[in-house]
Amino acid sequence: MQGVQILLLLAGSLAVTAVARRLDWPAPLLLVAVGLAVSFVPGMPDFRLEPELVLVIVLPPLLYSSALDSSYVNIRRNIRPIGLLAIGLVLATTLGVGLVAHLAIPALPLPAALVLGALVAPPDAVAAVAIGRKLGLPRRIMTLLTGLYLGHNAPRAGYATRLQETAVWRAVDLLLESWVFGLIGLQLRFVLADSGATWPLFGSALLVLLAAMVIRIVWVYPGTYLPRLLSPKIRAREEFPTPQGVFIVAWTGMRGVVSLAAASALPLDMPGWDVIVLCTFVVTVGTLMVQGLSLPGLIRLLKVPSDDASSDSEAEARVKSDAARAAIARLEQASDGNVPERVIARLRTMAEHRADTVAQSVDEGPGTRWKRLRLSMLMTEREVFLAARDARDIDDELFHRVQRELDLEEAALTRE
């Protein structure tokens, strides 16, 4: 794929994404559908997937962007169910899909069938995040779907760096996600040409797709409830999942470009290469379209409970109050006799308003002393929020939201 083709695909994908946002449709699914539709348009450039381009250049920033939206605290809290999905389910899917593929396609050797199972076993974190974020799935479900390891986003890092990083990675995320999902749909022409697909072979590929979806459902339910039945410690430590949430986790097993890229990277002389590529494509597109398109309706039908907004607000208000008290105490310590009382009073009022979740603004041209004291208070507030996050009194999402408020105020105080 040449540079002009990459840019052409990017421009087209962004146009489709803009239409999807205007219509309030999931952009990844519309991109795949449009790619499938236009893949046979006469004169269409060669958009054949290149594994090196996807796995080395495109995928790492997408995973990093997904990790930025992940909650380290939530991942630690759900490490056991994440392990069951990330390790146990992947192994079960590899074996189950491999056996089904070997039985459905006798010409496919068992080792090659197991390779196919390994290719389609891991769900795509990028696809799960992109679609789940659009559907507004609860945090715990999103944590289980992604299961990405995220190191601490240190709150003592520069506020300007964090603000710039957020803006940059959102833009990168939009560009690469659009490009990747558009690329998936455009592979239809090449997959059919390379595999020499026949209707019987396509039917066997659909059986592989069904196996991948059913195995996930069969695994998730026992993996959710059996440990709780057998272990009192797990029952005491972990909240009991809602039946609706368990089904959504079981149903949301979308595959993505990683499986396709890995299949394309296999040696051409590998036995059953053409069948593996076709089945991987069918599983990838099938899970995206069947599960992705049905998710909104299922969420409405099952009335999946969203995150408790009132609980979030209470936790945020409680920690803001603690931070404000600590900041006021720091103000009393840092102020000296040369600071006018009206400045002290104003800083105290701002801290109290923050505790009441009232939006704050900063007047133009604050004096040097006012800046110094307010910046000192902000540092103390950060420490309180960090301690609350580490103590699990608040969720990472709340922590990042309040941290951004502090970042914006600090940026306003220190701008030229």
pLDDT at 213: 96
Q: Does 140 score more than 50 pLDDT? A: yes
Q: Sketch the domain layout of the chain as residue ranges.
A: 3-302, 309-414
- Mean pLDDT in residue range 384-409: 86
Q: Does 310 score more than 60 pLDDT? A: no
| Number of CB atoms found within 10 A of residue 226's CB | 11
Top pLDDT among 132 and 365 is at 132
Q: Does 358 score more than 60 pLDDT? A: no
Q: Does 151 score more than 60 pLDDT? A: no
7 class by beta-carbon count within 10 Å (0-12 exposed, 13-18 middle, 19+ buried): exposed
415 class by beta-carbon count within 10 Å (0-12 exposed, 13-18 middle, 19+ buried): exposed
Nearest by Cα to 78 from 157, 138, 16: 138
pLDDT at 356: 58
For 3-302, CATH gives: 1.20.1530.20
Top pLDDT among 34 and 329 is at 34
pLDDT at 114: 97
Q: Report the predicted TM-score, pTM, of the whole model to 2 decimal places.
A: 0.75
What's the 3-state SS for 145-203? HHCCCCCCCCCCCCHHHHHHHHHHHHHHHHHHHHHHHHHHHHCHHHHHHHHCCCHHHHH
**Structure confidence by residue, pLDDT tens digits, 164-201:** 777 787 788 888 889 999 999 999 988 988 888 888 99
Radius of gyration, CA atoms only, the chain: 25
pLDDT at 156: 45
- Mean pLDDT in residue range 311-329: 74
